[in-house]
Amino acid sequence: MFIHVVQRGDVLWRIADYYKADINSIIEANALPDPGRLLVGQSLLIPTENNTYTVRAGDTAWKIAQSHGVTVQDLLWENKILNPDNLYVGQELVIPVGPKPEIEVNAFTYILGQDAVPVVSEVGDLLTYLTPFAYLVQEDGSLVPIDDEAAIGEAIANGVVPMMSIVNFTVNTAGENVANKVLNNPDVVNTLQNNIIGTMKDKGYQGLNIDFEYVLPEDREAYNNFIESTVNRLHNEGFFVSTSLAPKLNADQRGLLYEAHDYPANGRIADFVVLMTYEWGWRGGQPRAISPINEIERVLDYAVTVIPRNKILMGFQIYARDWTLPFEPGQEAETISIEEAMNRAYAHNAQIQYDYVAQSPYFRYTDGEGNAHEVWFEDARSAQAKFDAVKEYGLRGISYWGLGYPFTQNWALLADNFDIKKL
């Protein structure tokens, strides 16, 4: 697949003709709401059987390589070009096509009950694991149940491994007190582990994800011990265990979200980890990219020094946020799907901007009441940047948060970049 960034004056039929691509395939791969309208700066996936590209004015070897998901070195080697500055308009380049790396893909879903069935079915062939979110741990070691049977059934029907998720927090409660009471009481830990195993056997789960957040720093070792004893018990039952980790930059990073998450211990104990590499642009903060690639790479630079690369799933959020401007402390951005973000861009004829440091698109608009807005979202370019990071760092794979936010481009591009491992 090629990635085309819409320029002023572009129309879809000319783009399709230029790439020798089927126009209906372009519409489908991008879920275009109105094929007759394109926005300046909008990125389009171009599915094509053709693996050649004709150099245009303004092209560079770097831009061409990035838009096709290949390295500059491979592009130059394929075309026997010694100097990348010697490209000329009209030159036909062969885009190298090699074997796709195989990765594992997890997706959390907050969509439960029968509503989960179409959501899981739509992307099931591109998932290794499905993780319904989530069983809430109580202070006595009991679990608050969730309506996950339909999601589990649909996952199994699509050859996807269901992974149970336990958490110590809610939207309104950080969870440090629950963790403190549970982790420091051996009887409660034993009760919790019994309840986990019983639930997994009853529901058909094959693995567990432990997502304890805001654990008190003084409970760090107790948390490590809990993970280790849980791994030992579940391995004896034939189950695997993963953990979710806050995005740390170093071992000594301060803050309630980070201090109890011991990267080396998790890397040694767990079967694999999910790095929650998103939420820089959080709903209560100032407008910015939600998962900027420059920040993700800083986390990965540390993570790969203390966790085996083949144990790391890199987190990738597939939602957007709409902030009202000017930002004031205490206000919250609206979380929306990427397709809804594009609908708003269309409604206001917004020009799509792109932050090349964060590798993330955004746009601004003014609503009917005169309020200014800034929207950060994801597109084919930002998704490709994250896929490139997975390849460059040699990671186990990707973990999405979360199903229920439509992002058609992502799934088409994921399949174009990787073979998805099925267990």
Identify the residue whose tokens are 């004015």. 57
For the question of residue 139 being annotated catalytic, the response is no
Question: Catalytic one among 213, 259, 295, 340?
Answer: 213
CB-based contact 44:6 (threshold 8 Å): yes
Among residues 272, 291, 295, 269, the alpha carbon closest in space to that of 281 is found at 291
What is the CA 110 to chain-centroid distance, rounded? Answer: 15
Distance (Å) of CA 57 to CA 54, 90, 328: 10, 9, 43
Identify the residue whose tokens are 């998901």. 69
Residue 101 dihedral angles phi and psi, to the nearest 5°: -65, 150
Question: Taking the alpha carbons of 44, 47, 53, 54 in that order, is the dihedral positive or negative?
Answer: negative
Lookup: tokens for 278: 């998103």
Task: Quote the CA–CA distance of 107 and 128 in Å, as a whole number.
Answer: 8
Identify the residue whose tokens are 């206000």. 331
The two beta strands, 312-317 and 397-403, are parallel
Task: Quote the CA–CA distance of 126 and 419 in Å, as a whole number.
Answer: 8
Lookup: tokens for 224: 């490590």
Among residues 289, 376, 354, the alpha carbon closest in space to that of 41 is found at 354
Task: Quote the CA–CA distance of 196 and 287 in Å, as a whole number.
Answer: 39
Question: Taking the alpha carbons of 39, 42, 47, 49 in that order, is the dihedral positive or negative?
Answer: positive
Task: Quote the CA–CA distance of 377 and 149 in Å, as a whole number.
Answer: 31
Three-state DSSP class for 76?
Answer: helix
Three-state DSSP class for 251?
Answer: coil
Q: Active-site residues: which are they?
A: 213
